[in-house]
């Protein structure tokens, strides 16, 4: 039994190593991006596009300021609150629609309308309803992120394998047991990619809503940088927002997802993994 446990530990270490190794590819991509940025800087000058290193320095200066952390924290909190609400609403609605065709038929036109309204219109509406408060930002994020989760989960629920459902029924599984052991597990594979996308758009929409509604946070700082025509500071704030997103994605979303996708990786031959 101990060898089995050791094997399991080794297997997990191997996957962590593989995951870290894949980071090199990401780093190479970022380096290429920085090189293009530098080229742009040398072509257009400091005012239009500050050098990546100068931006990094500005970013570090901001990062050293506790007040800036408060701003970033404010944005993060709003984005995550809206994201959590969207994840919950989208997952519940998607499950209902995936399991009940009638709900799906009702939900589809509503979804089309929601997706058709540009986010900027939601911001204006939310500002009228909530004024310059957290509520404006959270509502905008909720409206922007829910459809993504809804569609992902509904697609997962619709594509569930009914043969497996029959198999479970033959072995005496009731509706609840089938939902928890088969339905949710299948849906999870669709939920996580959708959550990644939703989290990204939650951050972006939060910053945009903050900027337009003038409610502080990173968006507010960007508005101030624009007013002062301080391009380096504006870029530095963008850098900070993107860094935050990448950190969340690689420490949270990717590890969870790869845990769910283990069996898919098992099917791939060596060398093709990731």
Partner 1 sequence: MTRETTGTAPSLTLSGIGHAYLGRTVLDAVDLSLAAGEVAALVGPSGCGKSTLAHIAAGVVEPSRGRVARRYRRHGMVFQDPRLLPWATARANIAYPLRLLGLPRRERRERAEEAARRVALDRADLDKFPVELSGGMRQRAAIARALAIDPDFVYFDEPFTALDVALKRRMQDLVIEAARGARFGALFITHDLMEAVRIAHRVVVMDAQGRGIAGTRAVPSEPGARDDGTVYRLVAGFLSDDPLFRHIHDIDERRTQ
Q: How far is the CB of 51 from partner 1 (least distance, A)?
A: 48
Tokens encoding 117: 């309204």
Q: How far apart are CA 228 and CA 231, in angstroms?
A: 9
The one among 181, 214, 228, 243 contacting partner 1 by CB under 8 A: 181
Count CB atoms within 10 A of the CB of residue 143. Answer: 21
Per CB under 8 A, the segment of 114-122, 132-140, 182-190, 217-225 that binds partner 1 is 182-190
Stretch that binds partner 1, among 81-89, 180-188, 209-217, 245-253 (CB under 8 A): 180-188
Q: How far apart are the first and last CA of the chain?
A: 31
Q: Which stretch binds partner 1 (CB under 8 A): 81-89, 226-234, 239-247, 259-267?
A: 259-267
Choosing from 36, 45, 260, 274, the residue that interacts with partner 1 (CB under 8 A) is 260
Q: Least Å distance between CB 103 and partner 1?
A: 21
> What number of helices (H) and strands (E) belong to the chain?
13, 0
- Centre a 10 Å sphere on the Cβ of residue 111 and count the other Cβ atoms it contains: 18
110 within 8 A of 103, measured Cβ to Cβ: no
187 forms part of the interface with partner 1 (CB under 8 A): no
Do residues 91 and 183 make contact, with C-beta atoms less than 8 angstroms apart?
no
Q: Is 262 in the site for partner 1 (CB under 8 A)?
A: yes
Closer residue to partner 1 in complex, CB, 1/27: 1
What would the x/- binding string for partner 1 be over residues 153 to 172, using CB under 8 A?
--------x-xx-xxxxxxx
Residue with tokens 């459809």, as numbered in its chain? 147
Between 109 and 163, CB nearer to partner 1: 163
204 forms part of the interface with partner 1 (CB under 8 A)? no
User: Closer CB to partner 1, residue 15 or residue 185?
Assistant: 185
Quote the Cα angle for 225-82-159, to 5°: 125
User: Among residues 181, 195, 176, which one has the least CA distance to residue 256?
Assistant: 195
């Amino acid at each position: 039994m101990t060898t089995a446990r050791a094997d399991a530990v080794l297997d997990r270490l191997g996957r962590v190593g593989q995951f870290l190794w894949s980071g090199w590819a990401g780093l190479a991509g970022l380096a290429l991006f920085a090189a293009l940025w530098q080229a742009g800087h040398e072509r257009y000058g400091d005012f239009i596009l500050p050098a990546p290193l100068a931006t990094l320095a500005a970013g570090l200066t901001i990062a050293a300021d506790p007040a800036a952390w408060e701003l970033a924290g404010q944005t993060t909190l709003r984005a995550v609150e809206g994201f959590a609400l969207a994840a919950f609403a989208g997952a519940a609605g998607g499950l209902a629609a995936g399991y009940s065709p009638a709900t799906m038929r009702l939900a589809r036109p509503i979804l089309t309308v929601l997706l058709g309204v540009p986010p900027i219109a939601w911001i204006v509406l939310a500002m009228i309803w909530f004024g310059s408060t957290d509520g404006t930002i959270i509502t905008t994020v909720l409206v922007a992120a829910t459809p993504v989760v809804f569609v992902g989960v509904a697609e997962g629920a619709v594509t569930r394998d009914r043969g497996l459902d029959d198999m479970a029924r033959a072995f005496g599984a009731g509706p609840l047991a089938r939902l928890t052991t088969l339905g949710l597990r299948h849906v999870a594979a669709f939920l996580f990619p959708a959550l990644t996308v939703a989290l990204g758009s939650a951050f972006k929409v939060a910053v945009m809503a903050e900027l337009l509604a003038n409610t502080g946070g990173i968006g507010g700082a960007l508005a101030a940088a624009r007013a002062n025509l301080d391009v380096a500071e504006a870029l530095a704030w963008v850098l900070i927002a993107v860094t935050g997103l990448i950190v969340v994605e690689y420490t949270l979303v990717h590890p969870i997802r790869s845990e769910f996708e283990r069996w898919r990786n098992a099917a791939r031959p060596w060398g093709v993994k990731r």
